[in-house]
């Protein structure tokens, strides 16, 4: 497979992504090692093996593939996929699935779950997802993937193992829970997403919408349509702690080559190594 069938691969350290993101056309970025996907575009083959889907909002370039994925899972006799989405999507998507079941002559089972800002969704004992409110033209959410690890408290780190075991036997709490934001995905949003939740700026990888990149479209134009302009992100770079800021949803008016030229021209040198364009469009 190639192109839209397979998506493009992006790797950073131990994190692997496969996906595509092109403004108004398609956005779906999967993390295959975790069987999850952010948005679904039109339901391309590279998302079909995922098990949990985190939908930012209901626009078709982000969510049109939901019925198709459900149908494909049923045809392959796989477990029902779980779709997490804004509350306002649940009722109309349920009605859509009733109509598709009527059209197909087959009752398709779905699992739609509403999300709320800051309410953690457990994926496994070591990972969870936390939604955060974004600001688009319709109800929208971003998502942050967290790791969860137990760590020996600082006061006990120099003690021998047998002494730590004795303290635990005496009821002493010697470990603390360390929750680390690994990946944040914004979906479509105005730049206020940066202030929606403190953990977003601390994510190791920030998959960040930047639909417009140069002077041909103004910041005001971006905001009118519920999007973020690169010019709004640049002043925030000093306060974004992410190791990588990966731009998604760039307009088709820019070729990949043009994007790189714009980033080279606009991004301050001390931050340029952190800011990249997601390779799949």
Residue 166, pLDDT score: 67
What CATH number should be reported for the domain holding residue 92?
A: 3.60.15.10
Go through the chain and tell me how many residues it has. Answer: 281
Residue 158 lies in a domain: yes
This prediction's pTM: 0.92
pLDDT in tens, 140-195: 999 999 999 877 666 767 767 777 676 677 777 756 789 999 999 999 999 999 99
List the beta bridge partners of residue 36. Answer: 31, 52
Position 206 in a domain:
yes
> Do strands 275-277 and 205-209 pair parallel, antiparallel, or not at all (unpaired)?
unpaired
Does some domain include residue 34? Answer: yes
Residue among 202, 275, 281 nearest 244 (CA): 275
Write out pLDDT tens, residues 118-141.
999 999 999 999 999 999 999 999
> Is 248 a domain residue?
yes
Q: Is residue 1 part of a domain?
A: no
Give the pLDDT of residue 173.
Answer: 74
**Which stretches in the chain have pLDDT values below 70?**
1-2, 152-154, 156, 159, 164, 166-167, 174-175
Residue 267 belongs to some domain of the structure? yes
Angle between helices 87-104 and 66-75 (to 10 degrees): 50
Q: 87 is in which domain, residue-wise?
A: 8-277
Residue 3 lies in a domain: no
Instruction: Domain count for the chain, please give it.
Output: 1
- φ/ψ (deg, to 5) at 205: -120, 125
**275 Cα distance to chain centroid:** 17
Q: Is residue 2 part of a domain?
A: no
């Amino acid at each position: 497979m190639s192109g839209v069938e397979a998506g493009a691969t992006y790797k950073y350290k131990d994190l692997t992504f496969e996906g595509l993101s092109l403004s108004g056309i398609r956005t779906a970025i999967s993390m295959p090692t975790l069987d999850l996907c952010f948005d679904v575009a039109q339901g391309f083959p590279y998302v079909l093996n995922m098990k949990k889907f985190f939908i930012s909002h209901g626009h078709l370039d982000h969510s049109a593939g939901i019925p198709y994925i459900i149908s494909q899972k049923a045809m392959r006799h796989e477990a029902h996929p779980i779709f997490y989405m804004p509350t306002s999507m649940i009722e109309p998507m349920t009605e859509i699935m009733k109509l598709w079941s009527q059209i197909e002559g087959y009752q398709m089972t779905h699992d739609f779950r509403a999300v709320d800002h800051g309410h953690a969704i457990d994926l496994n004992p070591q990972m969870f997802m936390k939604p955060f409110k974004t600001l688009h033209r319709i109800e929208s959410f971003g998502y942050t993937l967290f790791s969860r690890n137990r760590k020996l408290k600082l006061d006990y780190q120099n003690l021998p193992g047998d002494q730590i075991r004795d303290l635990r036997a005496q009821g002493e709490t010697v470990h603390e829970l360390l929750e680390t934001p690994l990946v944040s995905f914004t979906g479509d949003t105005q730049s206020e997403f940066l202030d929606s939740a403190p953990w977003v700026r601390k994510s190791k990888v920030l998959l960040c919408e930047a639909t417009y990149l140069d002077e041909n479209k103004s910041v005001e134009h971006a905001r009118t349509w519920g999007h973020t302009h690169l010019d709004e992100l640049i002043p925030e770079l000093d306060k974004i702690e992410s190791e990588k800021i990966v731009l998604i949803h760039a307009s088709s008016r820019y070729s990949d080559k043009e994007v790189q030229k714009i980033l080279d021209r606009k991004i301050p040198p001390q931050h340029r190594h952190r800011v990249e364009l997601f390779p799949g469009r």
